[in-house]
Amino acid sequence: MTASRDYAALAQRGLSLDLTRGKPSPRQLDLSNDMLRLPESYHAADGTDARNYGDLQGLPELRELFGPLLQVPPAQVVVGGNASLALMHDTVVHALLGKVPGAERRWVEEPEITFLCPVPGYDRHFTICERLGITMVAVPMGPDGPDMDVVERLVASDPKVKGMWCVPKYSNPSGVVYSDETVRRLAAMPAAAPDFRIFWDNAYAVHHLTDTPAELADLLALCAAHGNPDRALVYGSTSKVTLAGAGVSFFGSSPANVEWFLANTRKQSIGPDKLNQLRHVEFLRDADGVAAHMRRHAELIAPKFELVDRVLTKELGGLATWTSPRGGYFISLEVPHAAEVVARAKAAGIALTPAGATHPYGEDPDDRVIRIAPTYPELDELEQAILGLTVCVRLVAEERA
C-alpha cells in the first residue's frame, strides 16, 4: 500500500516536469555564448567571402576540423545546416527520387523497401521511414550493438532491405557503443541489394561522460577495405556541442556518394550559411578545443546521470533495470508495463517520452522501455521527476502483483 499512498501524495503536488527530449540545458547553451559575437572575420582561410553565395560543400577549415572526429576524410565531408536529421531525411528522399550509386533503379520504383531498425532506437529515424513509406524491421540490440546474426541474415537474403539505421556511439537511448567486431561485420557482410546503405548517425561522437572516451571502429574505411565503399553514410552535428538550434551538421561518405549527394543538393541551395561555419571554426578552433568544450558539458551533465542512477538504485532495486551510459544523452529504463507507468507519471505531472517511441510504429512488443532524458532539468527538478517516476513504477508493480 505504500506505493498508492506515495502516488496520492505525488499527484497532490501538482508537478509540471518534463523528461521527454534530449535537449541541452540553458547552462550548457551558455557555454557557447561567446559564439554570439563571432565570426570576427567574414573571410574564410582561402579568402572566400563567407557573406556571399557558394561553397556548397562547406568551408575546408570546418571539414578539416570535424572530418577526423567523424572518421571521414575532410574532402569527403559535406557541411549542412543546423540539423543532421534534415541531411538524413534528404538522403532518403534523394535515394527515392534519384538513383544512388550502384542502384538498378530509384527506390521509389521498387515495389517495397525495408530499413532495419535496431531497437530500442531513435524515434525520429522511424518517423522518416513512416513518412516516406519505408517498411521497418526491428532488430534487437545487445551490449555490443545490433544482433549481427539477424542483420547478416536479413541483409544477405532480402533485396528489399535497402537501409539500416545505426547510432553507433552512446546509442539513443541505450548508450551502447558498437564493438569493433560489430562494425567489421557491418562493413563486410554480403548484401542482396547492390544499393544497401548504412545510415551511420554518429550524433554522440564526442559526447563523453567519463575521462575514458569510447573508441569506435572506422566504418567508412572498413567498408572500403571489404569492397563495399559506398555502403556507409555518416552523419553528425554540433547540436549538442555548441547550440542545438544554431549548429552545423555533417554528411560524410565515399567520393561517389558525396558527388551524388552534392549533385542533388545543388538543386536545393546555392550554398550554406558560411558565417555560421566560420563562427564554429573561430570558437572551437581544433580537436583539442572541441575536447575541452565537451569536458565542460560533461561537468554539467555527468552529475545528472549519476543522480538518476543513484535514485533508481535506491528506490527500485530489483523492480527494474536501466543503463549507465558512458556518454550521450539518454538512460534507458526497462520496467514491466512501461505504457502504464508513463501514463501514471503523466497524470502526476511528469512528462516522459511515450512508451513505445523507441520502437518502429511506436510498438514495443514487450512494453518495457522508457527513455529518460536527464540533461535539460536542473538537479533539484530532475531529482523530483525521477523520484516521482519511481513511485509510478512501484505503484504499477503493486497493482499488478
Q: Select 195 or 201, whichever has its Cβ closest to ligand PLP.
A: 201
Q: How many residues does the chain have?
A: 401
What is the DSSP track for 88-151? Answer: HHHHHHHHHHSPPTT-SS-GGGSS--EEEEEES--HHHHHHHHHTT-EEEEEEEETTEE-HHHH
22 near ligand PLP, rule: CB under 6 A: yes
174 near ligand PLP, rule: CB under 6 A: no
Strand, coil or helix: 218:
coil
Q: Where are the alpha helices (DSSP H) in 211-350?
A: 219-225, 255-265, 274-284, 287-316, 338-347
340 near ligand PLP, rule: CB under 6 A: no
Strand, coil or helix: 166:
strand
Min CB(12)–ligand PLP separation in Å = 33
Q: Select 85 or 294, whichever has its Cβ closest to ligand PLP.
A: 85
Min CB(165)–ligand PLP separation in Å = 9
Strand, coil or helix: 251:
strand
Contact 28, 297 (CB under 8 A): yes
Copy the grid coordinates of residue 307.
Answer: 543522480
252 near ligand PLP, rule: CB under 6 A: no
Q: How many residues bind ligand PLP (CB under 6 A)?
A: 12
Q: Select 237 or 257, whichever has its Cβ closest to ligand PLP.
A: 237
Binders in 194-213 for ligand PLP, by CB under 6 A: 201, 203
Binders in 126-155 for ligand PLP, by CB under 6 A: none
57, 91, 172, 174: which one binds ligand PLP (CB under 6 A): 172
44 near ligand PLP, rule: CB under 6 A: no
Residues 6+ apart with CB under 8 A from 344: 7, 392, 395, 396
49 - beta bridge partners?
Answer: 43
57, 239, 253, 277: which one binds ligand PLP (CB under 6 A): 239
User: Could you give the C-alpha distances from 268 to 16, 88, 94, 132, in angstroms and in order?
Assistant: 42, 15, 11, 19
Q: Is the dihedral of CA 201, 79, 375, 303 positive or negative?
A: positive
Q: How far apart are CA 188 and CA 222, in angstroms?
A: 8
122 near ligand PLP, rule: CB under 6 A: yes
Min CB(20)–ligand PLP separation in Å = 11
Find the largest Cα–Cα distance for the chain.
72
Stretch of 25-33, 78-86, 288-296, 353-361 contacting ligand PLP, by CB under 6 A: 78-86
Tally of CB atoms within 10 A around 36: 10
369 - beta bridge partners?
Answer: 334
Min CB(231)–ligand PLP separation in Å = 19
Binders in 278-317 for ligand PLP, by CB under 6 A: none
91 near ligand PLP, rule: CB under 6 A: no
91, 182, 237, 353: which one binds ligand PLP (CB under 6 A): 237
Stretch of 82-90, 156-164, 268-276, 303-311 contacting ligand PLP, by CB under 6 A: 82-90
Stretch of 51-59, 81-89, 293-301, 332-340 contacting ligand PLP, by CB under 6 A: 81-89
Min CB(85)–ligand PLP separation in Å = 3
In the complex, the residues that contact ligand PLP under the rule CB under 6 A are 22, 83-85, 122, 167, 172, 201, 203, 237, 239, 249
